[in-house]
Amino acid sequence: MKSNNKENLQAMLLQQEKLISRLCYIENQLLSQQQQQAWTENEHQRFIEYINIFGKNKQKEVAHHIQTKNAKQVASHSQKFFNKLSQWFMKQQCDMQTAQNYFLKCGLSHKVAIQFLAELTSKSQ
């Protein structure tokens, strides 16, 4: 009788391990699908809004408020967004006021635009 209970318990544990493994696989598939979704205009506008509130290096806070993207996705979007602005700045070789005005047109707050310009000019020196 004890042997039978032990075998049943082992079979149940094996089944539980298989279920856990399957759940992990499904979770990874869902995360992968979520990461491949493009940013909507609404998500990007909220991204800009929360970058202006929290700052450009606060991905966790921004992701928490956007709610449809995780911190890794926000970090990637932020890097691409600011890289594009940086490339524009380097290509234009414009004065600080022109660059600041452009960054403001892109939705950045005065504070974030000034901080970003400071980063750009310190890198180029």
pLDDT band at 125 (very low <50, low <70, confident <90, very high): low
Q: How far is CA 109 from CA 59, 68, 70, 117, in A?
A: 17, 23, 23, 12
pLDDT band at 123 (very low <50, low <70, confident <90, very high): confident
Let me know: does 109 contact 115? Beta carbons within 8 Å: no
Mean pLDDT across the chain, nearest whole number?
Answer: 87
pTM value?
0.68
At 22, which amino acid appears?
Answer: R
